[in-house]
Amino acid sequence: MKLTLQHLILRFMAAVMAIGWGLTGASCTDPETTDSTKFAIFYAGLTDIGPSMSFTLDGPSYIGAAPSDFAITQVKRDGEPVETSCFTISATTGAITLENTSSLAVGLYTLSISCNSNGNYYEFKDIVSIHMMNVVPEGISVTPEKLQVNFADVVDEQSDVELPTAQVTTQGNHISIRKYLIANVRRDGTLVEKNDFFTISNSGLISIVRGKSSLKPGKYVIDLKLTTAAVDEESEEGLFVDALEIDVTSGPLSLTYAPNNAKVEEHNAFTSVAPLLEGSTDGLTYSIASIVPETSEIHIDPATGVLSIAEGNQLPIGGSYSVSVKATNAYGSKEFAAAYQVDVVAYIRPITTLAYDDKEEIIQASAFEIPVKTVDGDEVTYSFVNLDEKLADLTIDAHTGTVSAKQGNTIPLGEYTVTVQAKNVKSEQQASFKLTIVKNPYYFTYIHWGNNLGLTPAKSYASQYRVTSQANLLALSIPVAETDLPEGVEVEWSVVKGSSSVTTVAIDEAGTVTFTGGWTNAKVLVVLIQATTGKGTVGETVVRTPIFIHCSAAVDGVTVNYTPFVFQVNPKTGGSSVAPEITGLSDLSLFKSDYRRTFNYYNINGPKQHKSGQPSATATDNFMSILWQAYYASIGVAAPNYGQKWPLSYYDNITKATGLSAPLAYVDNANGCAVKVNPNKWLDDNGYANGVMIGQITFVKDGNEANVSSGKQMFPIALWFDTKF
């Protein structure tokens, strides 16, 4: 078995907040829009590769309209542009293929990816990264090298069939393995992002997790990341490529054509797309099970499942045919009823005319629609042609051709030419129109209230103020420090209520914030201020901005101050906060802390599906609960414990095989108690976090790690997530 190594990291792409939430912050938020969902793509989070490895990384998931026209725009190694042909991308699916990697130098490679969505061009800088690593030493093997298991036995939680296992072993005593991790799992040559259906123990036993509904039939190949040490040498991390093959076998389970229907002109030839089959591919063949009504004019390729109709066929106009397909492999066969629909029409009109009216005097940031003025032809689809990147907020309905933008769009002032293409099976036409965006007298983008921590430039930090007493809080009077509010425009100010304590906050007509109460010992508080201009007009603009307060005080004689106490972090890349200044303790080495409980998340501008709240067994669809589910899946535990601190704990992860790469974030006791946020953890299928999390941290001052969970309590730092940070 081949032992090689490399490391591929694939990095992807204001709601209500109030005092008592305990959050972290940035300088400002974007103007409010009627639809907060932006287009984004998401690749798998982490992959390790070795020299000479070849495989395909599946195309990305996405938010918004389906992407196409993928391209790799740049490759870097350790931050410097390089030329290499090892990485290629499918223009239609976005799948990335790695080939001929034996000559790649060790280092961190990053790929920038571009694509089109709904006629718009997007580029995602450094969204995919590739890290070449060292190989593990010779003499390490897995016994047996191949396993076979029946799919039904794995997914059935009640099955009493014993699932096979494999053991990592070493030859002789010259090498020891100190840590075992599953690095990558590939199914039929394609990288599997969520691979929680296989686990490896601290002793190197590889097991299959029973009851995992996300498992699919296929041949899985597992790479292992091992920390090894030879006699009298330092330990090092290496990759064991193709360590184990697991064949999950099954008869055909599902079959899907996309699209699964077509209109065919009389006597014309036709070819469908190939179907997607879930099931083993060993000995796979396709056949037509039935056609209703019966006809011999529709055929199927037994190897690919592609349906076809020959030129000159005699299918009658108005005929509508439902095709059922049978799939057979080495483990069984299954018929899939009404898998494809064919409708025969007399004529599909070509497109000869397409026109739009010019759209002038559109108020900046306002919503608008531009319908098609004139079009002919049948079965028409629409798309943009070479859309100006400044028009990224412009969308087009692929079926109606209507061009539109949402309220709060960020299209800059100016005159633009927009070109649309209409297309069907017979022809295509293009038409252009003028789009003119004029100044919105009410438009603005940010408000900032500065800070009293000496952080400069202030706009790069959240509006944050530290106070040391109730009297200190009541004496605060915080005027607006910076804004791009237009001069002379009336502003309606309000405090967005998120908790009862927000009633202790006031804001005057100039935007100055004052407090009448709200002190909470050793806790970060937040209040969300909303500013509205042009209310009731087409140019109405709303911006929401949080202000954070840290009620700094001693707990059991110890004061913990993070500066800044709002950690602004990009959930794609993660990072570490500053270490806190700790006073009241003569020996800082005895200070130990850990996240403990009360993990509140508050959505600001994230996807609407990111519900605020704490992880809870009674609210399993809120954002924190979903993150809890993802964490437990990553460590091979089927049932999440929503009352447990593991997903944010330092001490509960350093003893696990998955280590500190598994938690969402943790207090890094090896780095002065800075808070470490791991990359690509704060997201779900709807997108990345854009909001704030504040959690209780407990501590001891006698160095006894076993007592940290029952230690003294504080809320000294807030984590504010935004992909712009």
Under a CB-based contact definition with an 8 Å cutoff, are residues 601 and 612 in contact? Answer: yes
CATH fold of 140-249 reads Immunoglobulin-like (2.60.40)
Task: Assess if CATH 3.40.50.720 describes domain 267-345.
Answer: no
pLDDT in tens, 566-580: 999 999 889 999 999
Q: Which phi and psi angles does 355 have, rounded to 5°?
A: -155, 145
**Of 654, 549, 643, nearest in space to 592 by CA:** 654
Q: Which two tokens stand for residue 110?
A: 């990053």
Q: In this model, does residue 304 exceed pLDDT 80?
A: yes
Find out whether 403 and 394 touch, Cβ atoms under 8 Å. Answer: yes
Least confident of 86-95, 310-319, 447-456: 86-95
In which band, very low, low, confident or very high, does the pLDDT at 480 lie, cut at 50, 70 and 90?
very high
User: According to the CATH classification, is domain 32-131 in 2.130.10.10?
Assistant: no
Q: What is the Cα–Cα distance from 573 to 683, expressed in whole angstroms?
A: 12
pTM of the model: 0.56
Whether 455 contacts 548, CB under 8 Å: no
Measured between alpha carbons, how far is 207 from 24 in angstroms, rounded to an integer?
Answer: 41
Query: What local confidence, expressed as pLDDT, does residue 447 receive?
Result: 94
pLDDT of 462 above 80: yes
Mean of all residue pLDDT scores within the chain: 87
Q: What are phi and psi of 251, to 5 degrees?
A: -70, 175
- The domain at 447-721 falls in which architecture? Sandwich (2.60)
Percent of the chain scored above 70 by pLDDT?
A: 91
pLDDT confidence band for 544 (50 / 70 / 90)? confident
* CATH fold match for the domains 32-131 and 140-249: yes
**Which DSSP state fits 455?**
-
Single-letter code of the amino acid located at 79: G
Strand (E) or helix (H) holding 182: strand 175-187
Is residue 157 a contact partner of residue 211, using CB atoms and an 8 Å limit?
yes
The answer for residues whose C-beta is within 8 angstroms of residue 326's C-beta and 6 or more apart is 286, 287, 288, 289, 333, 334, 335, 336
d(CA 595, CA 598): 9
Burial 488-502 (b: 16+ CB within 10 A, else e): eeebebebbebbebb
Predicted confidence band of residue 548 (pLDDT cuts 50, 70, 90): very high
Q: Which residue has the tokens 């990759």?
A: 239
CA-to-CA distance for 544 and 7, rounded, in angstroms?
41
Query: pLDDT class for 23, splitting at 50, 70, 90?
Result: very low
In the numeric block, the tokens 């959930």 are attached to 571
Residue 199 to residue 212: CA distance in whole angstroms? 12
Nearest to 373 by CA among 438, 429, 436: 429
- Whether residue 14 is predicted with pLDDT greater than 50 in this model: the reply is no
Question: pLDDT for 685-703, tens place per residue?
Answer: 888 998 889 999 999 999 9
Helix, coil or strand: residue 607: coil
| Separation between Cα atoms, residue 143 and residue 433, nearest integer Å | 67
How far is it, in rounded angstroms, from Cα 166 to Cα 144? 6
Is the predicted pLDDT of residue 9 greater than 60, yes or no?
A: no
CA 621/CA 611 separation, integer angstroms: 7
103-112, 202-211, 530-539: range with lowest mean pLDDT: 103-112
347 exposure class (CB count in 10 Å sphere: 0-12, 13-18, 19+): exposed
Contact 610, 689 (CB under 8 A): yes
CA dist 635 and 615 (Å) reads 18
**Residues 6 or more apart in contact with residue 428 via CB below 8 angstroms:** 351, 421, 422
Task: Give the per-residue pLDDT at 26.
Answer: 32
Query: Strand 523-533 vs strand 712-714: parallel, antiparallel, or unpaired?
Result: unpaired
Mean pLDDT of 356-360: 95
Q: Round to whole Å and give the CA distance between 63 and 86.
A: 28
- For residue 555, what is the DSSP state? B
Query: Measured between alpha carbons, how far is 58 from 43 in angstroms, rounded to an integer?
Result: 8
Residue 476 has pLDDT above 90, yes or no: yes
pLDDT in tens, 376-402: 998 898 999 988 888 988 999 988 999
Which whole-number Å values give the CA distances from 604 to 17, 282, 405, in the listed order?
Answer: 8, 49, 22
How many CB atoms within 10 Å of residue 80?
7
What average pLDDT does range 77-90 have in this prediction?
A: 87
Is residue 213 over pLDDT 90?
A: no
Place of tokens 């591919």: 281
Q: Give residue 15's pLDDT band: very low, low, confident or very high (50, 70, 90).
A: very low
* The residue to which tokens 């501008």 are assigned: 605
**Which token pair is 547?**
């202000």
Evaluate if residue 660 carries a pLDDT over 80: yes
| Measured distance CA(321)–CA(343) in Å, rounded | 6
Among the ranges given (132-141, 523-532, 597-606), the one the predictor scored with the smallest mean pLDDT: 132-141
Over 90: is that where the pLDDT of 713 sits? yes
Q: How are the residues of the chain apportioned to helix, strand and coil, as percentages rounded to the nearest 5? A: 5, 45, 50
Q: Token pair of 142, please?
A: 């897995």
More reliable by pLDDT, 691 or 236: 691
| Residue-range domain boundaries for the chain | 32-131, 140-249, 267-345, 354-438, 447-721
pLDDT at residue 275 above 50? yes
Higher pLDDT, 49 or 257: 257
CATH classification of 354-438, choosing from 2.60.40.10, 3.40.50.970, 1.10.10.10, 3.40.50.12160? 2.60.40.10
8: which strand partners? 47
Which structure tokens are listed for 519? Answer: 């002190």
Residue 625, CA atoms < 13 Å, CB-side half-sphere: 15
Give the model's confidence band at 500: pLDDT under 50 very low, under 70 low, under 90 confident, else very high: very low
Q: What is the pLDDT averaged over residues 324-330?
A: 98
pLDDT category at 44 given cuts 50, 70, 90 is low
Angle at 26 between CA 65 and CA 441, to 5 degrees: 70
- pLDDT tens track for 510-525: 999 999 988 999 999 8
SS3 state of residue 411: coil
CB atoms within 10 A of CB 221: 19
Across 498-502, average pLDDT: 54
| Sequential DSSP letters for 104-125 | PPSSEEEEEEEEEETTEEEEEE
The answer, yes or no, to whether residue 536 has pLDDT greater than 60, is: yes
Per-residue pLDDT, 497: 64
| Confidence tier at 683 by pLDDT (50, 70, 90) | very high
Task: Give the Cα separation of 128 and 10 in Å (integer).
Answer: 4
Judged against a pLDDT cut of 80, whether residue 64 lies above it is answered with no
Of residues 247 and 365, more confidence is placed in: 247
How far apart, in whole angstroms, are the C-alpha atoms of residue 690 and residue 63?
Answer: 14
Residue 283 and residue 307 in contact, taking contact as beta carbons nearer than 8 Å? no
Question: What SS3 state is found at 177?
Answer: strand
Query: What are the strands, taking DSSP E only, across 347-481?
Result: 354-355, 359-363, 368-370, 374-375, 381-384, 395-396, 403-405, 414-423, 428-438, 447-448, 463-467, 477-478
Amino acid at residue number 681: K
Residue 39 is predicted with a pLDDT of: 79
CA distance 86 to 55: 11
* Cα–Cα separations (whole angstroms), residue 235 to 170, 185, 242: 15, 24, 22
What is the tens place of the pLDDT at every residue in 634-647? 888 878 999 999 99
> Which region among 30-44, 91-105, 306-320, 425-439 has the lowest average model confidence (pLDDT)?
30-44
Query: Given this model, what pLDDT does residue 6 score?
Result: 30
With cut-offs at 50, 70 and 90, classify the pLDDT of residue 99: confident
Torsion angles phi and psi, residue 321, rounded to 5:
-120, 125
The three-class DSSP label of residue 237 is strand
Grouping H, G, I as helix, E, B as strand and the rest as coil, residue 472 is helix
Q: Which residue has the tokens 């580029």?
A: 123
Query: What pLDDT does 259 receive?
Result: 83
pLDDT at position 513: 95
User: What's the pLDDT at 45?
Assistant: 55
